[in-house]
Amino acid sequence: MGSGTITVLNQCDVFGYCGNMGICSYSDTSPICGCPSENFRLLDVNDLRQGCKRKRNIEDCPGSAAMLELDHAESFTYPPELSSQTFFVGISACRLTCLVTASCVASTSLSDGTGLCYLKTTEFVSGYQVCGPVLPNPSPFADNDGMGEFKEKLGARGFGAVYKGVLSNRAVVAVKQLEGIEQGEKQFRMEVATISSTHHLNLVRLIGFCAEGHHRLLVYEFMKNGFLDNFLFTTEEHSGKMLSWENRYNVALGTTGGIMYLHEECRDCIIHCDIKPENTLLDEIFNAKVSDFGLAKVINPKDNRYRILTSVREARSYLVPEWLANLPITSKSDVIAMGWYCLR
């Protein structure tokens, strides 16, 4: 075998780049090494690539162990996991399997609908975290004078205002600034977890997110034609914005396709719970994009007893009967909402 140099585009793809228990992520220009959590410490603060070490061994900890969740991260081992350590069980079961397996150090679950689970049982484990904050620092919403290229307000929807923004790479995006720290953070965690695991033509695409201090921001693809309700309930002087019946039909069809995907094609049945024109976006050719998963819940389709117990922010006239009667919420609730949606 001849000698030579192999060049990789992403240093984080190189096994062990950040050492044992090290997590590799990318800044704008170079890879950065860190530890999984505050329960670990760097072996050498002058050489971050030496890896990390637990401050306290698991066997020395009182009480039961728990799994630390790293979103958008993948763990690597050498040698790679054996076929007997690969399962199709879903995210929650994957974590539990690792937790009850004495030799398991970490696990990786794929959220692509396959339910694939990899158990890591070797002593050397490294990680690659592929997602991080995408907005400039400090936050462009810290005050009105420092908003830079995020000044154009598109409207106030759900739990916060939506702004048109331009990222450093000149990409145009829609940025949702969540308001109300407690309630906003709940919606932030829910939307990131839900939207990032879904991929469909008629669902809004989440590009990134930011959780810095008390700021909670969601970054979406920008939809040129904005919100559907602006085209349905216009005044006479703005009648030029009214949709043709062909476009209305296509919007209803596209929205139905997105909701059907959430119900039947995701790993778990996802119920939107808040379907309405105000939560539908239109691109430049009037394709419908379902957005705002603020009340969405992941439901086990086989468990008819599951109830959603959460705060309701919608007017009573838009609520499905299950909300008002405190009955279990199922995918049928979205079907009723779609009927009202099409009627409007």
Which sign does the torsion angle of CA 217, 219, 225, 227 carry?
negative
Angstrom distance (rounded) from CA 114 to CA 66: 24
Model-level pTM? 0.52
Domain-embedded: residue 34? yes
Check residue 149 and give its pLDDT.
Answer: 55
Other CB atoms within 10 A of residue 96 CB = 14
Check residue 318 and give its pLDDT.
Answer: 58
Q: Check if 28 is active-site.
A: no
Q: How many angstroms separate the Cα of 153 from the Cα of each of 112, 176, 216, 281?
A: 33, 10, 17, 15
Which of 129, 152, 173 terminates a domain? The answer is 129
Angle between helices 331-343 and 245-264 (to 10 degrees): 180
The token duo for 54 is: 């637990």
Let me know: does 149 contact 166? Beta carbons within 8 Å.
yes
Check residue 251 and give its pLDDT.
Answer: 94
Check residue 112 and give its pLDDT.
Answer: 55
Domain-embedded: residue 89? yes
Let me know: does 121 contact 101? Beta carbons within 8 Å.
yes
pLDDT mean by block of 10 residues, the chain; 344 residues: 54 82 76 85 90 80 68 63 63 78 79 69 76 37 43 73 82 79 55 70 82 75 88 62 87 92 77 84 92 57 40 51 72 84 83
Are 116 and 160 members of one domain? no
Domain-embedded: residue 114? yes
Are 204 and 277 members of one domain? no
Q: Which of 44, 71, 274, 283 is catalytic?
A: 274
Q: Total domain count for the chain?
A: 3
Domain that residue 317 falls in: 229-343
Are 99 and 68 members of one domain? yes
Angstrom distance (rounded) from CA 102 to CA 98: 8
